[in-house]
Each structure stands twice: as structure tokens, then as C-alpha cells.
Amino acid sequence: MTETCDLLVAGAGPAGLAHAFWRRRARPDLRVLVAEAAPRAGGWVRTVMRDGWTCEAGPQGFRPNADSDALLDALELRDEVVPAAAAAKRRWVVQDGRLVALPAGPLQLLTTPLFRFRDLLRLVREPWVPRGGTPDESMSAFLSRRFGPATRPLAEAMAHGIFAGDADRLEMRSMFPMAVECEERHGSVLRGLRRRPRPNPRPPRRPVLCSLRGGMERSIRALAEALGESVLLGAPVQRVRREGEGYLVDLGGSRPRRFLAREVALAIPAHAAAGVVAGLDATLAEELRGIRAASVVSVYVGAPRDAFAAPLDGFGFLAPKHPSPLLGVLMTGALFPEHAPAGHMLLRAMSGGAEHPDEAERSDAELLGQARHWLGEYLGMRGQPSFVHVERTRNAIAQYESGHAARLARIAARTAALPGLRLLGASYRQVSVVGQWAEQGSHP
């Protein structure tokens, strides 16, 4: 039997739930359904709370902006927002086997060991560097060309921190479109940033990171509650076919169903969407298959605060490219003190990423041993941890690699020929969770 609906959303991650929520809010008369393959909603957003410790499998938090304000207001969650501690501004990067503080302002550039004097001279020459580069230029190539080769370790650390990716493969235009635009329009990143129109009066400074009381999963519970029975769990979308003006959508799972939907939104990772649309448009499926995703391992280690020789009052540290698979360590117990019992610190060591794809296949014991080694080496951790927890997120973070922007343009051209079909989610633009909360979502 074929059932009908106005909009069928595949995937109950942040993108799918937020899209269904906004569409239903705009048109309560529409029959909107969300089909999720897993037995729970949320995608990578999952909070584990155990014995007074709070661990996030995916996003540690969100960077507040107008989109997060809009969604959290609509869900009546604004009072549940927990800003990260002010110390979150302090960050470090690994250099020659030790932690070096990232400069917090231009004056600290003069004293940081990250740059020699001649590197600084090269850095400030950026406005006079001629335009250049290719449209698909990598992040490391762009930053080296404009600011000098000494920026390479920072580019690598940033690529690790945001995308668990490889700075030599990630595309600058897709990661930081504003920087590329500044070069194109003003001939310089620094000049472009200076000339940006500034709102007057200046809005108050926002925290760099926020979470929610009860962890990030609180946002998922609120969205799922608002959507109620419209969310079908354990219902993987298997394929989508054209049928008249709409689409026939086959759901698998223990209770296979078929829907005729006027509109379909695939808010699932690109590699999963490729399988779903293979029969509809093989070229589109091939393009989607080309968007890779990296796996990340998070090892949480909790211990009394006095077990660490280093001060733990910041965001955490990032590691540039290295033979070891370390991406960085988040000081989650410093960011959100309520995530650890009183007098204790919780750290999240993250490893793997695009350069170490097999990391998630290693045993818990190996991963834990490795994390403890890093925490000893960089933060002077001594003794046994009071708490450990391991999370593996496989094929989780889309890689906007060189050619990504051009690929998105080709994908947009294919979907333009499929009216009513939309691709959403972090595979395309805006890798952050807030990017998925936006009313318009993130799509090619």
C-alpha cells in the first residue's frame, strides 16, 4: 500500500529534524514525516551521562549566532543555554613536543615562539602579496602563499580542529569562503577584513562556545518532541524514484513502508544519499559518492584536578600533522565544569581523522593507553584516571576537499532537474551543528 505525505525528510540528525521543524512551523497543515535509519534520533549529537561525568559523542557545543538564537527561541530552550567558561579563549598548539599558547591578540604575535621575527615580517606583508592561487587551492597552500610558510603548522592544527582533516587536501574556498572572497575583492585578506562593514552599534560579544543543560542531546530531544509521531525510527530510506510530480520513497526496517511524497529532503550523509538516489540519477549518485568523510575517536579521561602538572584553564590544544594520530585535546571539564564531578577534570583526546582512517578500528585498551601517554606528555598527568569513556564516530566529518565547491555546483545543477528533491546536511556546506539548525539549512 502506498501512503502519502507532503514532505518526507530522510535522516533525523540536526539537519533533518531542524528542516522538518521549520517547515511544519511555517505550514502546520502539511503532512511532514522524518524517516531515520537508527533506533534513535540525533545523528552524531549524543550525550552520555555517567556517575557525574558528561561526555559528548559528537559536537562538544555550538558557536552561538542568529541561527542558534532562532531555533533555541522557537524550542523555548534559550534559558537552558550554558556558555563555556571565559577561560575558553585560551588555546594551545603543539610545537616541538610541547604546548605553545596561541597569540590572543596582535601584540602577543611579537612574543610568541610560533613565529620568528622574519616570519612576522612576511605575515604583515600580506596586503602586498599579489592575487593568485587556483579556485580549488588547499588551505595550507592559500595560507602559505598569502601569509608565508611559517603558517603551515597552524593551518594543519586548524584543519585538525575543525574538520579532523588534512590541510593539504581541504579546500580553502569551501572552508573559509570569506578569506577567499577578501582576496578576490580587495586583493588581500587583511585589507578585506578591515573593510568589512561593521554593525553600529557593535553587538555584545558572544561566548566562543555554548552547550545546553543536559548536554547537546537536549536540542535533539526538544526537536523530536516538537515533531512527535512524525519521526519514524528504525526506518531507513532505501530508494527514491520519480512518480508523476512527486517521489516514491521506500522505507526499509522491520516495517517496510512506501510513501508518495510531493517533496523529499535527504538530510543524510552524502555517501548514504548516493545509494538512495542511484536509480534516480546515476551521475548525481557518483558526485555524492565523491564527498569523503573522516572518522574520529574521542577518548574521555577524568581525574582529580591535582593529577595534572599543567594548568587546565582553557579550551584545549591542537596538534599539527604528525606521524601520531593525535588531533587535539579538549579541556571539557574546564569549558563546562558541570561535566565533571567537583574537584575533577575531564579531558577529551581526539584522534584519527582523514590522515589516520584506521584509528577507529583499534581496541579500547590501545586507544586508552595512547591517550594517557599524550595527557602525560603534554599536560603532566600522573596516576590512574577516575573515569574513562571511548567513542568512535565513523565516517562522521565530511571533508570539503579540493574541488568541493565545483562539485557542489555540479550537484546543484543535477538537483535543479529534480524539483521537490533537496539535499541537506553537513556533507555540503557548514560542517557545524548550527549550520544545520538554520531555517534554510545547508545544501548545495
Sketch the per residue contact string, 297 through 336, with ligand FAD: x for CB under 6 A, - otherwise: -x--------------------------------------
The CB-of-304 to ligand FAD minimum distance in angstroms stands at 26
Check residue 183 for interaction with ligand FAD (CB under 6 A): no
Check residue 219 for interaction with ligand FAD (CB under 6 A): no
**Nearest one of 356, 354, 339, 352 to 301, comparing CA atoms:** 339
The CB-of-9 to ligand FAD minimum distance in angstroms stands at 9
Check residue 353 for interaction with ligand FAD (CB under 6 A): no
- Binding segment for ligand FAD (CB under 6 A), chosen from 60-68, 225-233, 277-285, 335-343, is 60-68
Which strands form 387-398's sheet, in the order they lie side by side? 98-101, 91-95, 316-318, 326-330, 344-352, 293-304, 387-398
Check residue 370 for interaction with ligand FAD (CB under 6 A): no
DSSP state of 220: H
C-alpha cell at 49: 551521562
**Nearest one of 259, 220, 254 to 235, comparing CA atoms:** 254
Dihedral sign (CA 15, 16, 17, 22): positive
Q: Are strands 32-35 and 257-266 parallel, antiparallel or unpaired?
A: unpaired
Check residue 268 for interaction with ligand FAD (CB under 6 A): yes
Matching residue, cell 600522573? 382
Check residue 123 for interaction with ligand FAD (CB under 6 A): no
Sketch the per residue contact string, 415 through 444, with ligand FAD: x for CB under 6 A, - otherwise: ----------xx----xxxx-x--------
Residues 238-267 that bind ligand FAD (CB under 6 A): 267
CA atoms in the 13 A half-sphere facing the CB of 317:
22
User: Residue 47 to residues 42, 250, 275: CA-CA distances in angstroms?
Assistant: 10, 31, 29
The CB-of-24 to ligand FAD minimum distance in angstroms stands at 17
Residues 269-298 that bind ligand FAD (CB under 6 A): 269, 272, 276, 296, 298
Check residue 397 for interaction with ligand FAD (CB under 6 A): yes
C-alpha cell at 368: 586508552
User: What is the C-alpha to C-alpha distance for residues 207 and 211, in angstroms, rounded to an integer?
Assistant: 11
Check residue 15 for interaction with ligand FAD (CB under 6 A): yes
Residues in the interface with ligand FAD (CB under 6 A) total 38
Q: In the complex, which residues of this chain contact ligand FAD (CB under 6 A)?
A: 10-16, 35-38, 43-45, 58-62, 236-237, 267-269, 272, 276, 296, 298, 393, 396-397, 425-426, 431-434, 436
